[in-house]
Structure 1
Amino acid sequence: MRAITIPKPGDPDALVWAEVPDPVPGEGEVLVEVAASAVNGADVLQRRGFYDPPPGASPYPGLECSGRIVELGSGVAGWAVGDEVCALLSGGGYATRVAVPAGQLLPVPKGVGLVEAAGLPEVVSTVWSNVFQVAHLRPRETLLAHGGSSGIGTMAIQLAKAVGATVAVTAGSAEKLAACRELGADVLIDYREQDFVAALADATEGRGADVILDVVGAKYLDRNLDALAVNGRLVVIGMQGGAKAELNLGKLLAKRAAVAATSLRARPLDEKAAIVASVREHVWPLIESGVVRPVVDRVLPMAEAAEAHRLMESSGHIGKILLAV
């Protein structure tokens, strides 16, 4: 088969489309012929040499894919050769074939194209597990999603609105904020021009956000605490703004607030399978009914993964960048 390899970490040109050995599905796995994958921030970090795959995972980037099952490993039930699926991966999506634990498979939702479905598993699993399973966002609460026009952000807006929450977002341009508004965002904050704490306070009559989904990390930690409502929950899922910051426990205590930090890629198989099963139960009906949809910026050939990474790093996209085989 062919895959995007990283012979030596570096800039986008470090990504090389090459012939590699075919994967073999192990017990409880299926082999998927890939139709498309999607670009995630973790792929960029892996390319730079800062985010190695977990032990036993494919060495190739790509944390999600869509395609068709071409082979079943032993012990797999409920799936058949020929099924159209999308999948949450620990790696290996940037390839023509990938072996996937059966518990991380999802059927392609009705009404969604096979290529388009590649942009769903990672963002839906991330948003569902963090905003709803960890932070327990409820109707009539307020969610603040940093990076509202990203793949994560565009999904967070839609899912939060679907449960009856108010949504505030930060983004860095009028075009990106307009896209967020079209998806249902109620409070639009240009982080280049506005202080998000003050803007959120103005919009909520000083109350703040019940849940904050943060991809920035250290740079935003103290201001996120300022932006939290009493009994608020901050979930950190990225470190774009650094890994180390001082946590003001006084602010946390005064607001009776909670801070959680999670990652998805290296979780045990049973935890991933439980998240995927919950996504299939709760989110897939919203997608199939048209309440929630994948937001795709563009589709590039997989052999042009370097160009996709340049676009990702320039932040010139809205929603997901897909790579089609």
Structure 2
Amino acid sequence: MDIAEPLLAAHRARFAEVDALLPPAAPPAEGERLDAATADGTRVTGVVQRHRFAPDDVPLLWSAADTWQLFPYFGDTGTEGVDLLLRALKGRLETEPTGEDSACVVFWPSRDAEAIRAFLDHGLVPLGALGIRTAPPPAAGPAAAVRRAGPADFAAALELATATFDYTGLVAAPRRANTADLLAPSLRAALAEDEPPVWLAEEDGEIRALAHCAWVDATPGSEAAELLPPGRWGYVNNVVTAPGERGGGFGRALMAHVHRELQRGGATGSYLYYNPTNPLSSVFWHRQGYRPLWTSWEVRPAAALR
């Protein structure tokens, strides 16, 4: 995508100024282009990508079936530039029908307050965040037996992993009827191998909490390098405590173990996705040392964009 060099340079400078942990801004996205100009004539550009997912596609665990994603390039124009691009997207959406299972999405650095003002004004809400943690492992948490999971744990692990979507379906993306089917393949594969790691916290022989993790290398040119600083990162994919055991310390004990193991494995740090609207996870992960680096701003359905 061809974007004017001064605008691209201002875009990169904005990322560097907003958050020191952000990697350099990625090259311009490919897609449909939207253009606008501020009151003083400064040009701003947006790129729109449309993603349609089939019923058995894993992204449906967190995504609408028909997603319009905006990549804004507004340089140093602040709230005004973002506002103009969202207005342009609104106009684009009015040219064709969108269904109920649709969304407008902007994935943007969490600390850019000027952009947040425009997102809120246009009806977007923070449904997801990429949280990053670079702190040393914590001291041992509450007492709990933690072990690596294996193939024999599949049924119990899947039941627990699925249960978390009953709750997140209330406070974030709606729960899909086929959630277990979407989760099963990657969980089964993880349990069949030593890597990626899956850990379980137990008490009296019963599984109380699960952590499904992975390794991700942020190397030059990789997708991960567009989101994370360079290095080997522990990805905390899914963590859940049994509904009746929440608040009992099993999650803290499990993650204290996981963080130590990830560091032992050479992790630069760890990262995860959580829902800022979730009153449990948003508090839990901040106490674990994570802080938001990127936030996914969404409005559902897409036609609700103001």
Q: TM-score, normalised by structure 2?
A: 0.24
Structure 1 length normalisation: TM-score? 0.23
Task: Look at both structures and tell me which one has the larger radius of gyration over its CA atoms.
Answer: 2
Report 1 or 2 for greater relative contact order, CA contacts < 8 Å, sequence distance ≥ 6: 2
